[in-house]
Amino acid sequence: MPADPLEVLRKTFGYPAFRGRQAEVIGHVLKGGSCLVLMPTGGGKSLCYQVPALCLDGMALVISPLIALMHDQVSALELLGVGAAYYNSSLTQAQKQSVRSRARAGGLKLLYVAPETLNTDFFQGFVDGLNISLLAVDEAHCVSQWGHDFRPDYLEAAKLRERLPRTPLVALTATADPATRREIAARLGLERDPVFASSFDRPNLRYEIVPRGSGREQLLEFIRARHSGEAGIVYCLSRKKAEETAAWLSSRGVPSLAYHAGLDAEVRRRHQGRFLTEDGLVVCATIAFGMGIDKPDVRFVAHLDLPKSVEGYYQETGRAGRDGAPASAWMAYGLGDAVQLRRLVEQGEGSPEFKRSQQIKLTRMLGLCEGTDCRRRMLLEYFGEEHAGGCGNCDNCLGQAATFDGTQAARKALSSVARTGERFGAGHLIDVLTAKSTEKTLRCGHERLSVWGVGREYDARQWAGVFRQLVAGGWVDVDAEAFGALRLNPRSWELLKGGATLRLREEAAPQAPRPKVKASATRAVAQAAPAGRDAGVFEALRALRRRLAEEKGLPPYVVFHDATLKEMAALRPRTLEELARIHGVGEAKLAKYGRDFLEALRAAAL
């Protein structure tokens, strides 16, 4: 008879109740059922397989994509007193032998394995001799070739299920549009099994997307005004840009590190370790800094380049505010991003069908950027979820999205494309529309065209917004092979011939730099840190947590999350029994750290 899952949740993890659809998923698995689980980042997906693993006889096998992620999850489980280990290329042969011995002896309840390791005859033979209670496929979107992070080795999960047909399988992801969900189900043999989908909404995230001007200066203003002294991630498209941005921010007083796949492995490990253990550090990264980031108090994620898809954007922004406290998802982008990404898709590997799929995903991403509707509504609709709009926590809903009848402006823009022979990019076309004499416009003789200077009512920044929105809305095509030349399509001619009208977003005038806000003030707003006397107690508890974490070489949040410390500071438990009632204090942590934190609470109260 399986153990009671709610009792396991309370005693092991220190949580009083399940959230969302966790209880449904766990109940289904404990009855021997398989399923696909869709939950947002920070929604508690891990508990959907960790709790059943502790309730069932045998050992759960968890397929996980990143070594860093496995290490963090195993460290956290070991602190809870759970027998857990990982098995991947980072281990020595002696360490692998030790893990295999513990598994055979029944000393493990969860074993995390990389998909590349799973795809070996030796490991497959090793698994045959074990009592596997459950198969969990984490980050299951990696199994889909149409997803944003396809990993061919993930396909081995399907073969493993064939070897263990009676073992329940749980596939979990936070980023899958309807087509990707269908492929996950087909790949893993889950077509007849239920899908447990929670809302993808992250109400604590504020979405803001701005046209890129100065880029790094805009980023610096955003950090200083809203998140000074706080942890954040800045995503860049290239390794060079990640390094240059980190150096530039550091020179402006924002402690920053670079992270990308081209860095030495030891440098990547050190930079990621510092980000996880230090407060107020910013990492400027490519998408290589990805799924292994489980830091709960990341207060912002910024993009200096356009993500390739809405899935990628959602997953990357989801690394902010995992603790449920207010956080920001900020992006600055320009038309050049779309041109560059389209070119990368066309020049990359893959079938024509795959490339068309990637171009469609990019177009949807552009639509999210340029849309004037509620950002949250547009984002959730992409994942097949309805939202009423008017979220009150995105730039559009906060009144920053003024629109105008852009039909005439759009026709002028499209006419300039036609009159110049569909051979030029937006920059040159803007010069033609505003009658800017350059070496190129004069050499081409474009000052003699009928469209020369017909757009003087707008400046170059405003025309850039028009062209950006025309591309995003599919009113004009970008020829990635011809260095971003714009070409007309059937929708272009519909608009030119008067068969359609168009409303466009107004380009906001550049804002004057706002005064720098003290770190303590922004932190109080963003993290809802305790005030008054509670603030001092909270900081004392954080200091104790930091010391205990350093002694064990662990990130502080693995000891206790900020939310747990805030509750301690507010309720001031005086006994172990009272401390055990704090959210996030399970039996193992109570025994390990309880007296230390009670003593800190007593000292802080003096």
Same domain? For 193 and 228 the reply is no
Per the domain annotation, does 512 fall within a domain?
Answer: no
One domain, residues 167 and 105: yes
**pLDDT category of residue 288 using cuts at 50, 70 and 90:** low
Interatomic CA distance for residues 398 and 544, integer angstroms: 40
Residues 52 and 69 in one domain: yes
pLDDT for res 243: 96
Residue 424 within any structural domain of the chain? yes
In a domain, 251, yes or no: yes
Task: Look at residue 6 and tell me whether its pLDDT is greater than 90.
Answer: yes
Same domain for 275 and 264?
yes
Return the CATH number at 81: 3.40.50.300
Q: Report the pLDDT averaged over residues 544-555.
A: 88
- Burial call 370-381: b when 16+ CB within 10 Å, e when fewer: bbbbbbbbbbbb
- How confident is residue 240, by pLDDT bands cut at 50, 70 and 90? very high
Q: Is residue 416 part of a domain?
A: yes
Mean pLDDT of 513-542: 56
Query: What 3-state class would DSSP assign to 174?
Result: coil
Residue 426 lies in a domain: yes
- Lowest-pLDDT range of 57-66, 398-407, 573-582, 592-601: 398-407
464 CB-near residues (< 8 Å, 6+ apart): 211, 334, 335, 426, 430, 507
pLDDT per residue as tens digits for the range 470-508: 887 788 888 766 667 899 999 999 999 888 888 888 876
**Domain termination site, one of 400, 425, 455:** 400
Residue 250 included in any domain: yes
User: For the purposes of burial, counting CB atoms within 10 Å of the CB of 422, is it exposed (0-12), middle (13-18) or buried (19 or more)?
Assistant: middle
Which structural domain range is residue 417 located in? 403-505
Query: How many domains does the chain divide into?
Result: 4
Q: Is the pLDDT of residue 215 over 70?
A: yes
Boundary (domain end) residue, out of 400, 420, 453? 400
Token pair of 165, please? 């047909």
Is there a single domain that holds both residue 78 and residue 19?
yes
541/560 same-domain check = yes
Better-predicted residue by pLDDT, 567 or 474:
567
Find the helix or strand (DSSP H, E) in which 133 lies.
Answer: strand 132-137
Residue 517 clears pLDDT 60, i.e. is over it: no
- pLDDT, tens digit, 9 for 90 and up, residues 70-97: 888 898 899 999 999 999 888 899 999 9
* Structure-model confidence comparison of residues 17 and 67, the more confident one: 17
Same domain for 344 and 408, yes or no, is: no
Instruction: Name the strands in the sheet holding 282-285, side by side, starting at the edge strand that comes first in the sequence.
Output: 205-211, 327-333, 300-303, 232-235, 282-285, 256-259
Taking a C-beta distance cutoff of 8 angstroms, is the pair 126, 100 a contact?
Answer: yes
Are 173 and 296 contained in the same domain? no
Domain assignment present for residue 515? The answer is: no
Amino acid at 7: E
Per-residue pLDDT band at 304 (split at 50, 70, 90): very high
Determine which of 25-39, 172-186, 221-235, 288-302 has the lowest per-residue pLDDT on average.
288-302
CATH number of the domain that residue 445 is part of: 1.10.10.10
Report yes or no on 458 lying in a domain: yes
Q: Cβ contacts of residue 64 below 8 Å, gap of 6+?
A: 70, 73, 86, 112, 113, 114, 138, 139
Predicted confidence at residue 417, as pLDDT, reads 94
Quick one: what percent of the chain has pLDDT higher than 70?
A: 92
Question: What region, left, alpha or beta, does residue 146 occupy, with left being phi > 0 and alpha being psi -120 to 50 degrees?
Answer: alpha
pLDDT of res. 519: 35
Residue 255: is its pLDDT beyond 60? yes
356, 209: one domain: yes
Q: For residue 554, give Cα distances in angstroms to 35, 42, 418, 496, 560.
A: 33, 20, 61, 62, 11
Answer with the residue of higher pLDDT: 151 or 304.
304
Q: Are 135 and 127 in contact (CB under 8 A)?
A: no
Reported as a pLDDT band with limits 50, 70 and 90, residue 524 is: very low
Confidence of residue 520 (pLDDT cuts 50, 70, 90): very low
For the cut 60, the answer to whether the pLDDT of residue 528 exceeds it is: no
- pLDDT digit string, tens, across residues 363-422: 888 888 888 889 999 999 888 888 998 999 999 998 766 788 889 999 999 999 999 999
Count the helix, strand and coil residues of the chain and give each as a percent rounded to the nearest 5.
50, 10, 40
Average pLDDT, the chain: 87
Q: DSSP character for 394? A: B
> The domain that contains 587 carries what CATH number?
1.10.150.80
Residue 27's pLDDT is 95
Res 23 pLDDT > 70: yes
pLDDT of residue 471: 85
326-339 pLDDT, tens digit each: 999 999 988 788 77
Most confident of 289-298, 420-429, 478-487: 420-429
Q: Are 289 and 334 within one domain?
A: yes
Residue 356: per-residue pLDDT: 80
Does residue 44 share a domain with residue 178? yes
Residue 526 pLDDT exceeds 60: no
User: pLDDT per residue over 137-192, tens digit each?
Assistant: 998 888 877 555 667 777 777 777 778 888 999 999 887 778 888 889 998 989 99
Instruction: Collect all residues with Cβ–Cβ distance below 8 Å to 355 and sequence separation of at least 6.
Output: 345, 346, 348
Residue 305 banded pLDDT, cuts 50, 70, 90 = very high
Q: Examine the fold and report which residue of 365, 400, 435 is the final residue of a domain before the chain moves on.
A: 400
pLDDT above 90 covers a percentage of the chain that reads 49
Q: Is 422 left (phi over 0), alpha (psi -120 to 50) or beta?
A: left
Same domain flag for 145 and 279: no
